C-alpha cells in the first residue's frame, strides 16, 4: 500500500530511484511518479499505471539529478488520475512531496490555504503538505523549520518525504504511524517504505519511529523529535536478507515461487531459537486473559492458532481480527495479546497493539520483517525468518506462522503437564516430516491441480468447507481464491452449511471440501455428511483429502498420509496452487491483484 523511495547521492540517482519503486511494486498501487532536483529546479513526472508502463510514457529514468523522491500510490483520497498521482508540488514549484497515510484534517487545512491564495492541482489529502510548507517558508525562510511547523498542523497518519529548491542537496522526511526507513550507504543515502526499496545498495538501515523526522544528505543525516526538535541517536541495523532471495529465480510469478519455498520456510521456523517459543508459552501461562490477533490471512492464522492451543494444550485463546480488537476486547493490566503479522506494519494491528499497551497489558508478536514497527513495539517478538514475501498474496509466511503457533501450543501443553517431555518430543519429531510431505504435495500434485484449475476456471462461485481445525483452513483457502482470481469464494464451517447456505447449492456453485484423515473419526464423518448434503442437491464437489476410496467427490486431490496431528498442515498448499492456477487460466495480475496491497498502512 503506497510506497516511498528516495536517494541523495554524489552521483546521478535516476537508475537507483527507478529500481526503488520497482522494488515497492509488491505493496500494491495504481499510479507512480518521481521528482528530481537539478539545475532546472524540481522536475516531476508521473502517471497512472505500473512502473514499467509509466516509464515508457513519462521517461522516468531520463532525468538528471543527484536528489530524488518517488512514490507508488494506492488511491484513498481522490480517483486514480494523473493529477492525483504523487509527487505533488507547491504553487511556486519550490517544494515537492510524497506521502503515505491519511491526513484526517486536510479539508480544513486546504480551505485555510485557499483563503491564503493557494491553488490545488489534485483531490488528494497529500498535496496539502507541499502548500503548507510553502506557506511557512514565506515566514521562516528555513526549510527544516517550515517542514516541522507544517508537521505540527497535520493530523492523522503519515510518512512524508519532501525536497526543495531552497535546500537542493537534502531530503526531509517524517513518520507518524506509517513506516519509513533510511538506508546508509557510501556517499549515498536512501529512503524507503521498507528496506527492500534499497537492499541492493546497502544493508545498513535506520528505522524511524513515530514522532520523528530526518534530514538526509549524500554523506550525512540526522534525526530529531518533531515536537521538541531534540536530536535522536538512532542505531544502525544490519539486514541479513540476501537481495537475491527477493528475485523470481526463473518462476513466472512470485506467488508460485513462494508456494514452492514453503518447505524451506517451515524448516527455518522449526530451527528458530526455542527460547523465544518457551518465553511465549510462559507469558500465556502467566496471563489472566489472552488473545490471538491478526487481520486478513493472519487473522485466519490466528484462528488456526486458537484451535492448536485448544487441541494440544486445553487452553482457549480467542482469535480477534485486529480491525475489531478495540471494539471487542476488554484488556486489563494482566492481559496478553499475541500479534501475528507478515509485514509488521499493518495499521489495524499496530493500532490494536497500542490499545493493549494503553490498558497496561502485555504483547507478543510473530512477525516476518525484522526492524518493523510491530517487531520493535511488542514486549516479546519471534522473528519467523521466512525471507522476503513479495507477492501481495501471503503463502509461505502464513504456513511458517502456523508452525510457530503449534510449537507454542506444545510448549504450553508441556508446561501445564498435559504433555510429557517424551510425548512432546514425539510430536516434534513428527513435525520434521511436514516440509518433506509438503514438497511431495507440490511436486506430485501441481500438474493435476493445474488441470483442474483449467477445467473449472469458468465457475464464478466457490464454497470452501472444513470442520474443526480445517474450518479456518477453509476460510484462508477461500481468501486466496478471491484475492488472486477475483472470483466469489466463501469459506465456512461444514456445520454452518445447513443453516442457510444450502439454498445456494446448484450447478453454478462449486464446493471444495477439506477432508481430515479417517483417524479423526468424528470429524471425518461430520465432514462427509456435509458432502452428502451438497451431493443430494446436485452440487459439484472437489475433495482435498487423504483417502482414495471416496466416490462421493466429482474430483479429489489426494494428500500423503501423515499423523492426524500434522494432517491440517497439508491441505492449504493445494488450495494455494488451485487459486494460483485458476488465476493463471483467467490471466489475472497474480503478484499484484487489483485494489489490494501487501501492507495496509491506513485505517
Angle between helices 434-456 and 262-270 (to 10 degrees): 150
User: What HEC string does 459-499 produce?
Assistant: CCEEEEEECCCHHHHHHHHHHHHHHHHCCEEEEEEHHHCCC
What does the angle CA 399 – CA 404 – CA 410 come to, to the nearest 5 degrees?
Answer: 125
Q: Single out the residue of 40, 31, 22, 5 nearest to residue 171, CA to CA.
A: 5
Q: Is 145 a catalytic residue?
A: no
Within a 10 A sphere around the Cβ of 481, how many other Cβ atoms? 25
Instruction: Exactly one of 46, 480, 592, 598 is catalytic; name it.
Output: 598
State the pairing for strand pair 95-103/156-164: antiparallel
Task: Give one DSSP letter per residue of 506-552, joined into a string.
Answer: STTEEEEEE---TTSHHHHHHHHHHHHHHHTTT-EEEEEES-S---S
Return the DSSP state at 72. Answer: E
Asked if residue 301 lies in contact with residue 340, where contact means CB atoms within 8 angstroms, the answer is yes
Within a 10 A sphere around the Cβ of 597, how many other Cβ atoms? 21
> What are 237's three cell numbers?
541495523
407 phi and psi angles, rounded to 5 deg = -60, -40
In angstroms, rounded to a whole number, what is the distance separating the alpha carbons of residues 207 and 51?
A: 26
In angstroms, rounded to a whole number, what is the distance separating the alpha carbons of residues 446 and 581?
A: 9
**Torsion-angle region of residue 575: left (phi > 0), alpha (psi -120 to 50) or beta?**
alpha
Element (H, E) at 451: helix 434-456
> What are 508's three cell numbers?
453454478
Instruction: Exactly one of 2, 32, 173, 176 is catalytic; name it.
Output: 2
> What are 232's three cell numbers?
535522536
Strands of 112-256 (E only): list them: 156-164, 167-176, 181-184, 188-192, 204-207, 212-216, 221-225, 231-232, 237-238
Residue 243, classed as helix, strand or coil, is helix
> What are 306's three cell numbers?
486458537
Q: Is 2 a catalytic residue?
A: yes
Residues assigned a catalytic role? 2, 598
Amino acid at each position: 500500500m503506497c510506497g516511498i523511495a528516495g536517494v541523495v547521492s554524489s552521483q546521478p540517482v535516476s537508475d537507483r530511484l527507478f529500481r526503488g519503486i520497482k522494488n515497492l511494486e509488491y505493496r500494491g498501487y495504481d499510479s507512480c511518479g518521481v521528482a528530481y532536483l537539478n539545475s532546472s529546479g524540481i522536475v516531476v513526472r508521473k502517471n497512472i499505471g505500473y512502473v514499467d508502463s509509466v516509464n515508457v510514457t513519462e521517461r522516468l529514468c531520463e532525468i538528471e539529478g543527484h536528489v530524488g523522491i518517488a512514490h507508488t500510490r494506492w488511491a484513498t483520497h481522490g480517483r486514480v488520475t494523473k493529477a492525483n498521482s504523487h509527487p505533488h508540488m507547491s504553487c511556486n514549484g519550490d517544494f515537492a512531496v510524497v506521502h503515505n497515510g491519511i491526513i484526517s484534517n486536510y479539508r480544513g487545512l486546504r480551505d485555510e490555504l485557499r483563503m491564503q491564495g493557494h491553488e490545488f492541482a489534485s483531490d488528494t489529502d497529500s498535496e496539502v503538505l507541499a502548500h503548507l510548507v510553502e506557506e511557512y517558508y514565506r515566514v521562516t525562510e528555513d526549510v527544516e523549520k517550515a517542514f516541522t511547523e507544517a508537521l505540527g498542523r497535520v493530523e492523522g497518519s503519515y510518512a512524508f518525504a519532501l525536497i526543495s529548491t531552497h535546500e537542493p542537496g537534502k531530503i526531509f522526511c517524517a513518520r507518524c504511524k506509517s513506516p519509513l526507513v533510511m538506508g546508509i550507504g557510501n556517499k549515498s543515502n536512501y529512503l524507503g517504505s521498507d528496506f527492500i526499496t534499497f537492499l541492493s545498495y546497502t544493508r545498513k538501515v535506520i528505522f524511524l519511529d513515530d514522532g520523528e523526522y530526518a534530514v538526509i544528505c549524500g554523506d550525512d543525516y540526522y534525526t530529531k523529535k518533531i515536537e521538541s526538535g531534540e536530536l535522536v541517536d538512532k542505531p544502525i541495523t544490519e539486514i541479513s536478507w540476501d537481495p537475491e532471495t527477493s528475485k523470481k529465480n526463473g518462476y513466472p510469478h512470485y506467488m508460485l515461487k513462494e508456494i514452492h519455498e514453503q518447505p524451506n520456510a517451515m524448516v527455518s521456523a522449526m530451527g528458530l531459537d526455542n527460547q523465544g517459543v518457551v518465553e511465549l508459552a510462559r507469558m500465556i501461562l502467566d496471563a489472566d486473559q489472552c488473545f490471538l490477533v491478526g487481520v486478513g490471512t493472519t487473522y485466519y492464522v490466528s484462528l488456526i492458532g486458537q484451535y492448536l492451543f485448544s487441541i494440544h494444550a486445553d487452553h482457549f485463546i480467542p482469535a480477534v481480527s485486529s480491525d475489531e480488537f478495540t471494539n471487542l476486547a476488554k484488556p486489563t493490566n494482566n492481559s496478553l495479546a499475541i500479534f501475528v503479522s507478515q509485514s509488521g506494519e499493518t495499521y489495524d494491528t499496530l493500532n490494536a497493539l497500542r490499545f493493549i499497551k494503553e490498558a497496561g497489558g502485555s504483547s507478543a508478536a510473530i512477525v516476518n520483517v525484522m526492524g518493523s514497527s510491530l517487531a520493535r513495539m511488542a514486549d516479546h517478538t519471534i522473528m519467523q525468518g521466512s525471507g522476503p514475501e513479495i507477492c501481495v498474496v501471503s503463502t509461505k509466511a502464513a504456513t511458517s506462522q502456523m508452525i510457530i503457533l503449534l510449537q507454542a501450543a506444545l510448549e504450553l501443553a508441556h508446561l501445564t503437564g498435559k504433555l510429557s517431555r517424551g510425548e512432546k518430543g514425539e510430536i516434534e519429531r513428527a513435525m520434521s516430516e511436514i516440509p518433506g510431505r509438503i514438497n511431495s504435495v507440490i511436486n506430485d500434485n501441481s500438474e493435476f491441480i493445474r488441470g483442474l484449475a483449467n477445467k473449472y476456471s469458468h465457475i464464478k462461485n466457490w464454497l470452501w468447507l472444513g470442520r474443526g481445525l480445517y474450518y479456518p483452513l477453509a476460510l484462508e483457502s477461500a481468501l486466496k481464491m478471491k484475492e488472486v482470481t477475483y472470483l466469489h469464494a466463501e469459506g465456512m464451517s461444514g456445520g454452518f452449511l445447513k443453516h442457510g447456505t444450502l439454498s445456494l447449492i446448484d450447478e453454478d456453485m462449486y464446493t471444495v471440501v477439506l477432508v481430515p484423515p479417517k483417524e479423526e473419526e468424528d470429524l471425518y464423518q461430520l465432514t462427509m455428511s456435509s458432502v452428502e448434503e451438497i451431493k443430494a442437491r446436485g452440487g459439484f464437489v472437489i475433495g482435498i483429502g487423504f483417502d482414495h476410496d471416496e466416490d462421493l467427490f466429482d474430483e479429489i486431490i489426494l494428500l500423503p498420509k501423515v499423523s492426524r496431528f500434522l494432517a491440517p498442515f497439508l491441505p492449504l498448499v493445494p488450495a494455494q496452487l488451485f487459486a494460483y492456477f485458476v488465476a493463471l487460466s483467467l490471466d489475472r495480475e497474480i503478484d499484484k491483484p487489483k485494489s489490494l496491497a501487501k501492507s495496509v498502512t491506513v485505517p
